[in-house]
Structure 1
Amino acid sequence: MLNKTRGRPRGNPDTRARIAAAARDLFHAHGYPGTTVRAVAAAAGVDPALISYHFGSKQGLFSQSLNLLCVDPTALDQALRGDQAGLADRLLDSVTGLWDAGVPAENRMAVRDDETMRALRDYLDGELRLRIAEFLGGPDATERATAAVGVLGGLIFTRYLNPIRSIDALSPADVRRVFGPALRAALHARPRRP
């Protein structure tokens, strides 16, 4: 008779930590786009399904292994639901909600670590830009997504990583009011014809 149990898989309790350490090394070495879930699993000596079990996705693995909880895959998924007209507000709410929940000292430590900053830049320029472009659609979607990531990256840098006092002092509602017009213009601008 087989005795199958439900719940957490049996095994070494440090599996999650081993996966996170392997992921951190690979993200630092190869950046976000150059790191695959299979490569992390191989480096950690685990089945790739365990990464999904412990971290949910590559994005979840990235954010948790580098302690960048601001890169929460579910928050991006939620921001990309709904109409295009409300996208700017949803993205700004996502950024402020995630980064404001973080520990400021930990956020600022990321600036001192070149590899973490490179991995964050890779994520912003890769995953975030591509997902926004896909959501927007159209021939100029990549250009608009690039501009949007510029606005969001600027907000992240000047509010959380290397704060400018006047931007750091804004409430989340004020962030939406102040940065919303620039982000809406980036998201919805149409290229000028020559």
Structure 2
Amino acid sequence: MNNAAPAPVRTRGRPRGNPPTRESIVSAARSLFLERGYRRTTLRAVAGAAGVDPALIAYHFGSKKGLFADVMQFQCARALTVDDVLDGDRAALAERLIDAVTDLWEDADFRRLTIQGDEAAEVIREYLERELLTRLVEFLGGGDATARATAVVTILGGLIYTRYLNPLPTPAALTPSEVRRILAPPLRAALAPSSYRGSHQNLAERLPGRLRPSVASAVVPD
């Protein structure tokens, strides 16, 4: 009786070992986007850096835009962990949300990726909607959770747009502590179910006069 182990069966396709993964492609793409920018980075260059066939990138990500979206989402998730923001004293949630946004832009790599134009802005919007808005609705609970979470994300979206993506002089000049002092009250009002309906209509009035012309229109929901 032959007890020897059977010889491994040779199969067609990619050699066995450590096959390239989505993570390795995203890592290679991230380095190239940071080095060359979005427009000068080609899928062929990413494939070469990751050691994969370009067709594999198309299979996983669909297009360069899809690949860039994954890179941006990776960078967002690395710099802004929603679980960490929601964990802790609920009374200080407004301040943690503001700090999460301002800290996100302290990440040098994230700042370099956000200057890639409309592609970056679209990914950030999708990340806020998918990750933060959805998680906030679950976290807040109650019949008005969606409205409250929407008000919060609208305020933070206004901060992101007027301070970072399309900076206006006054918001861009504020220090992080000033941003916290100015936006914490309307955020707390949006987060509080008992005061939501009254404060929802007066978020602009809670902002100092010097900010109302530039930020109020961006942060107050329709």
Return the structure number with greater relative CO, CA threshold 8 A, min gap 6.
1
Matched, 1:69 2:66: no
Aligned equivalent of 1:124, options 128, 131, 135: 128
> Corresponding residue for 2:190?
186
AA in 1 matched with 2:99: D
- Cα 1:69–1:63 shift into 2, 3 Å: farther
Q: 2:103 aligns with which of 97, 103, 106?
A: 97
Q: Deviations over 1:53-102 (max 9, x none)?
A: xxxxxxxx988712773443763211101232211001111111111233
1:118 CA drift (Å): 2.2
Q: Give the distance between the partners of 2:95 and 2:139, measured in 1 at CA.
A: 15
SS in 2 for 1:72: helix
Superposed, which structure 2 residues align to 1:101-120 within 5 Å? Answer: 101-102=107-108, 106=112, 108-110=114-116, 112=117, 114-120=118-124
TM-score (norm 1): 0.62
Gaps of 5+ in 1: 1-9, 25-39, 45-60
Structure possessing the higher radius of gyration over alpha carbons:
2
**Alpha carbons of 1:141 and 1:67: their partners in 2 closer, same or farther (altered >3 Å)?**
closer
Deviates more, 1:71-80 or 1:11-20: 11-20
Residue 18 of structure 2 corresponds to 11
Letter in 2 for 1:43: H
Q: Distance in 2 between matches of 1:15 and 1:145?
A: 32
Equivalent-residue separation in structure 2 for 1:62 and 1:107 (angstroms):
9
Q: How far apart, in 1, do the equivalents of 2:147 and 2:125 lie? A: 17
Question: Residues 172 and 63 from structure 1, CA distance in 2 versus in 1: closer, same or farther, beyond 3 angstroms?
Answer: farther
Aligned-residue identity in percent: 43
Q: Secondary structure at the match of 2:196?
A: coil
2:55 matches 1:78? no
CA distance in 1, matches of 2:177, 2:69: 25
- Asked if residue 149 in structure 1 is aligned to residue 166 in structure 2, the reply is no
| 2-structure distance, mates of 1:19, 1:104 | 14
Q: Contact 2:99–2:176 (CA<8 Å) still a contact in 1?
A: yes
Residue 173 of structure 2 corresponds to which residue in structure 1? 169
- One-letter code aligned to 1:65: V
1:79, 1:91 within 8 Å by CA — same for their partners in 2? yes
The CA RMSD measured in Å over matched residues stands at 3.5
Contact residue 82 and residue 131 of structure 2 kept, 8 A: no
Q: Using structure 2 for the length normalisation, give the TM-score.
A: 0.55
Matches within 5 A, 1:18-37: 18-19=25-26
